[in-house]
Amino acid sequence: MNSNIYRCGWCGNPTDKDGSPLDDKSRERVCKIIERYGDHRTKMTNGYCCPPEEVMVQVTREMALDAGDPDLEGQWIRW
């Protein structure tokens, strides 16, 4: 397998790298690849098939340090 496979991180639908749904032929090909080789190298995207109304992200160390409050690390915030 030479190219990356992308899936919506919300529902698991195969997408392109930008989160757009695949055409039927590409979707079928990707599903066969996942069935044959597994899903361990799949990259997750924010798919347009499942636009979240409210995105929650976990604060990383870098984000907390940028905010000047190391205690924020690990907390979930609305983005």
pLDDT per residue as tens, the chain (79 positions) = 458 899 998 889 999 999 999 999 999 999 999 999 988 889 999 888 887 667 778 999 999 999 999 999 999 887 7
Domain map (residue ranges) of the chain:
1-48, 52-79
- Spatial neighbors of 42 by CB under 8 A, at least 6 apart, are 5, 6, 7, 34
Give the predicted TM-score (pTM) of the model: 0.59
**End-to-end Cα distance, the chain:** 35
What is the amino acid identity at position 56?
A: M
CA 6 to CA 28: how far, in whole Å? Answer: 13
User: How much is the pLDDT for 56?
Assistant: 77
User: How much is the pLDDT for 1?
Assistant: 46
Token couple for 21: 């749904």
User: How much is the pLDDT for 9?
Assistant: 87
